[in-house]
Amino acid sequence: MQAVIHFFSGTGNTARAVGIVAERLEATGWEVARHAIVGGTEPPAGIPDLTVVAFPIWAWAPPHFVLEYVRRLPEGRGAQAAVLATCGAFGAQGVGEMERALRARGYAVFASGEAAYPDNFLLAVDPPAGNELSEALLEGDQAVQMFINNCTSQNPARFRCGWRHVLWSWPIARLFRTCGRRFLGMFFVADDRCTACGQCAATCPVRAIRMEGAPARPRWSAACAGCYRCINLCPVQAIQISIARLAIHLGVNLALTAGWVWALVAGRERLPWALVAATAVFAALTVLQLTALDGLLGALERRPALRRFFAASYTQRFGRYRAPGFRPEQSGALSR
Ligand SMILES: Cc1cc2nc3c(=O)[nH]c(=O)nc-3n(C[C@H](O)[C@H](O)[C@H](O)COP(=O)(O)O)c2cc1C
């Protein structure tokens, strides 16, 4: 019997979970292949006896490029599939959304589960260490074991978060996937600790980072997936969330939203037209914000006098998270 596990892991939690699943399946006679997903990866041809899709939850949803990958899987024609998500606390509708994507490709999703591991997103507290880390990993590992028991049981169950959680998490997930994630990279900046090693650019799963200028510094494009691998795995913790960039982009967003509401109120006599015109202007200005404004901020932050201002951040004080032993370059989780 053959199983293929398709997975993405930004900082190693999902790779760890996949290791446990593969080990357990192999111990019971399965032949297991692991297929790491990054932006643009093509799925392998052929349909195994079991397809497993594993991914981290981002803003209560699967990563956008993992969903796109699943939509390119070979037509399932009723083949068996299972879904496993890792999260920091609660993935809400994320597992259900992946189940729907697999069903739409013709797969019969018979089991699903969610495993909570240490969070890699907050950066406003130190990540767990020592015993605390061991306990947090154990809790996640136990949830993964339950997922496999569930897959191999006579009455497999699927993870359900309940419709109330779907109601609030679905719109947020959509918003994050379409535009929110694009802004995350706009908030990042490399401080003076940066050694220009280029590891962030080399390990970015969607190639959203370029090294620019002299001395070379990373620059993030609007293609950013929001995985936080660069910020968590930088060997000298040089990547910060810039307070200046955060404030400028949030200020512009607030102004644009206020302008959009004002245009609707002013044009309420001809609401459909006002809505179309205001939304078109809003979208055009947002594109300018992500390109021209970001370029301007990039040029300003390269000036020695302004570097400290742009690099000022609360994230300088806190540690980063990487699952023990995780190396993206060894797990096949690099852009091709
Ligand atoms: C951008 C982003 C958004 C996240 N959103 C959520 C979330 O909505 N709920 C949650 O429980 N964890 C969330 N997390 C935490 C991750 O899902 C969690 O740490 C996961 O195990 C990371 O897996 P990885 O190490 O394989 O990348 C988020 C992480 C990131 C980077």
Q: Which of 87, 90, 315 to mutate to test the pocket of ligand 1 (most atoms within 8 A of CB)?
A: 87
> For residue range 164-178, what is the model confidence (pLDDT) as tens digits?
999 999 999 999 998
User: What single-letter DSSP state applies at residue 178?
Assistant: I
Instruction: Looking at the CA of residue 89, tell me the nearest atom of ligand 1.
Output: 11
- With contact defined as beta carbons under 8 Å apart, do 20 and 10 qualify? no
Separation between Cα atoms, residue 33 and residue 268, nearest integer Å: 58
Q: How far is the CA of 108 from the centre of ligand 1 (A)?
A: 26
Mean of pLDDT values over 188-195: 95
Quick one: pLDDT at residue 154? 82
> For residue range 5-29, what is the model confidence (pLDDT) as tens digits?
999 999 999 999 999 999 999 999 9
Separation between Cα atoms, residue 121 and residue 270, nearest integer Å: 43
Q: Is the pLDDT of residue 233 over 80?
A: yes
pLDDT interval class at 217 (50, 70, 90): very high
Cα of 107 vs its chain's centroid, Å: 24
Q: Is the pLDDT of residue 333 over 80?
A: no
Q: Which of 9, 64, 120 to mutate to test the pocket of ligand 1 (most atoms within 8 A of CB)?
A: 120
Quick one: pLDDT at residue 334? 62
Instruction: Looking at the CA of residue 181, tell me the nearest atom of ligand 1.
Output: 1
Mean of pLDDT values over 276-301: 94
- Class of residue 308 by CB neighbours under 10 A (exposed 0-12, middle 13-18, buried 19+): exposed
Instruction: Looking at the CA of residue 14, tell me the nearest atom of ligand 1.
Output: 26
Q: Identify how many contiguous H helices and E strands the chain contains and give both numbers.
A: 12, 9
Cα of 208 vs its chain's centroid, Å: 13
Q: Is the pLDDT of residue 219 over 60?
A: yes
- List ligand 1's pocket residues with C-beta within 6 A: 9-14, 56-60, 86-91, 117, 119-121, 226-228, 323
Residue 181 vs residues 178, 227, 318: alpha-carbon distances, Å: 7, 9, 22
Same domain, 134 and 277: no
Q: How far is the CA of 119 from the centre of ligand 1 (A)?
A: 6
> For residue range 85-125, what is the model confidence (pLDDT) as tens digits?
999 999 999 999 999 999 999 999 999 999 999 999 988 89
Q: Is residue 212 part of a domain?
A: no
pLDDT interval class at 41 (50, 70, 90): confident
Same domain, 25 and 147: yes
Q: Is residue 286 part of a domain?
A: yes
Q: Is residue 83 part of a domain?
A: yes
Q: How far is the CA of 116 from the centre of ligand 1 (A)?
A: 9
Same domain, 158 and 26: yes
Q: Is the pLDDT of residue 268 over 70?
A: yes
Q: How far is the CA of 135 from the centre of ligand 1 (A)?
A: 18
Q: Is the pLDDT of residue 336 over 60?
A: no
Same domain, 83 and 163: yes
Residue nearest atom 28 in ligand 1 by C-alpha distance? 58
Same domain, 145 and 57: yes
pLDDT interval class at 331 (50, 70, 90): low
Type of residue at 90: F
Tokens encoding 310: 């742009």
Which CATH number characterizes residue 87's domain? 3.40.50.360
Type of residue at 163: W
Same domain, 13 and 127: yes
- Where are any strands of DSSP class E within the chain? 2-7, 31-36, 50-56, 80-87, 108-116, 188-190, 209-212, 217-220, 239-241
For the chain, the average pLDDT equals 94
Q: Is the pLDDT of residue 32 over 60?
A: yes
Mean of pLDDT values over 230-239: 96
Instruction: Looking at the CA of residue 8, tell me the nearest atom of ligand 1.
Output: 26
> For residue range 247-263, what is the model confidence (pLDDT) as tens digits?
999 999 999 999 999 99
Domain boundary (173, 195, 223) is at: 173
Same domain, 163 and 247: no
Mean of pLDDT values over 305-326: 94
* Backbone dihedral angles phi then psi of residue 182, each to the nearest 5 degrees: -65, -30
pLDDT interval class at 162 (50, 70, 90): very high
> For residue range 289-303, what is the model confidence (pLDDT) as tens digits?
999 999 999 999 989
Q: How far is the CA of 309 from the centre of ligand 1 (A)?
A: 29
Same domain, 7 and 104: yes
Q: Is residue 87 part of a domain?
A: yes
Instruction: Provide CB contacts within 8 A for 125, sequence distance 6+.
Output: 318
Same domain, 269 and 164: no
Mean of pLDDT values over 233-242: 96
Q: How far is the CA of 252 from the centre of ligand 1 (A)?
A: 27
Q: Is residue 77 part of a domain?
A: yes
- Residue percentage of the chain with pLDDT more than 90: 87
| Structural domain of 254 | 243-309
User: What single-letter DSSP state applies at residue 154?
Assistant: S
Looking at the 3D structure of the chain, how many domains does it have? 2
Q: Is the pLDDT of residue 135 over 60?
A: yes
- With contact defined as beta carbons under 8 Å apart, do 185 and 219 qualify? no
Beta-bridge partner residues of 140? none
Query: What DSSP string runs through 276-296?
Result: HHHHHHHHHHHHHIIIIIHHH
Strands 239-241 and 217-220: unpaired
Q: Is residue 221 part of a domain?
A: no
pLDDT interval class at 69 (50, 70, 90): very high
Q: How far is the CA of 32 from the centre of ligand 1 (A)?
A: 26
Q: Which residue has the higher pLDDT, 329 or 336?
A: 329
Q: Is residue 225 part of a domain?
A: no
Quick one: pLDDT at residue 179? 87
Q: Is residue 324 part of a domain?
A: no
Residue nearest atom 19 in ligand 1 by C-alpha distance? 119
User: What single-letter DSSP state applies at residue 91?
Assistant: -
